[in-house]
Amino acid sequence: MAEAPGAPHRTTGSTLLHPLSALLGIPLDQINFVACQLFALLAAFWFRIYLSPSHASSAVRHAFATLFGIYFAVFCFGWYSIHLFVLVMMNYGIMNMASVPNIHRYSFVVAMGYLTLCHISRIYIFHYGILTTDFSGPLMIITQKITTLACQLHDGIGRQAEELTAEQNRLAVKSRPSLLEYLSYLLNFMSIIAGPCSNYKDYIAFIEGRHVHMKLLEVNWKQKGYDRLPDPSPTGAVMYKLCITLVSLILFLTLTKNFPMAYIIDNEFLDKTPFLSRLGYLYIVTQAAKPKYYFAWTLADAVNNAAGYGFSGVDEKGNFRWDLLSNLNIWNIETATSFKMYIENWNIQTAAWLKRVCYDRAPWYPTALTFILSALWHGIYPGYYFTFLTGILITLAARAIRNNCRHYFLSPVPLKIAYDVVTWAVTQLAVCYTVAPFVMLAVEPTIKFYKSVYFHMHILSILVLLLLPVRPQTHSVRRAQNQAMLNSIKNKDK
């Protein structure tokens, strides 16, 4: 999207770094974003070393994380950051005053309602010329955290254990948090700018020094020759993720700006380029749009890891894993052979949030309702709704094909390889086709794009759904499966 005149110096936050923005020719809002995240990275290392649970109380750690988070928000977004604090305080009141059966409902309506109003105001304020990093990003993360905590608090004090899935039972919050705990969870400096959303119990365990210990207890270390629990360091994981961040930044500064999405609807391009070549270029421009997400999410993950947060246990080879808060798996994204696999590895924490607050709780049409909530959460630009409604159709069609056809191609090995190659190509093109409107935002370029490719994915998906039998998984079936899983875990505990 082209920047308006003077855009390199536009920001709603501090202008302290204006000279650097002018020197590099990079918009000031992006400079502020990167500066805050790099400062947060340094603060995270300091936090882990000098304010570790053995050196500071939980209250001190909560206060430090909260105050630095508030400072970063004000630095990046100026007075617009008041929206974050208003939403946080409104929902703290709801959490303490609402009746237990309605905590999650009221919190959800207020948080999503306020977020939607802010999305609407951004259209009138910026008229599609939105800043790359404005206050809506942190507001979206805070909305996820508010609704996550509200649902998990309702599970903990408003429902019986027998009514919960195994995951809901594990994450249920048994008491209302204090104001300091609440503010720290929502506004901490590790996640205030770029997330990700995490579970309340995991965050509190991290602050209190139980986070890594809890994960280590899941492994029998005596069998591995250890006399006591090891002390895993996140330094290696942080360095690895910073390398990915650096490569992503280089790709963003070179590849992204040379392959704009707008070119695929340029009249001269459409007149001179054959259909298959247009599809190939669509794949290229979609690839070029990814590095900024890889950069922002991987850097955010590294910040949390540097603070000592994000340990997820030990893998099959005995290596320590620091991917509890990872928001993407780049290898699985680029090699995905199904639409489902792609979605599961892209914006992982948002997908987990959608599952926990919507998909697992929806009484009917969980897939459709989850896509609709995702669209509302992202904003009100028409392109988002084209993307998510198209996503529903392609997801259902892909599921039907996989359920009805995949078992015919599992052997011999050459046939399986050929099947994987074909499904990889179709998946990548289907994703490109689906997300193009997400980048274009408006109705007119979206319709122009879909006309230029003859609505082929829509037509093929509809034909698949008409010709192949679909076996939807009902809510009652999912609940029965979840209950069986919970009973299995209880029996193991006995």
Task: State the catalytic residues.
Answer: 347, 378
> Rounded CA gap, 344 and 327, in Å?
10
For 155-208, the DSSP string reads: HHHHS-GGGS-HHHHHH---SPPPHHHHHHHHH-TTTTTT-----HHHHHHHHH
Q: Contacts for 56-65 with beta carbons within 8 Å, 24 or more apart? A: 58/207, 58/208, 59/180, 61/184, 61/207, 62/180, 62/181, 62/183, 62/184, 62/207, 63/180, 63/184, 65/184, 65/187, 65/188, 65/189, 65/190, 65/207
For 54-105, the DSSP string reads: TTS-HHHHHHHHHHHHHHHHHHHHGGGGHHHHHHHHHHHHHHHHS-GGGHHH
**CB 13 within 8 Å of CB 78:** yes
458 by Cβ neighbours in 10 Å (0-12 / 13-18 / 19+) ranks as middle
The residues with which 113 forms a beta bridge, in sequence order, are none
> Rounded CA gap, 419 and 39, in Å?
47
DSSP 3-state of 317: coil
DSSP 3-state of 137: helix
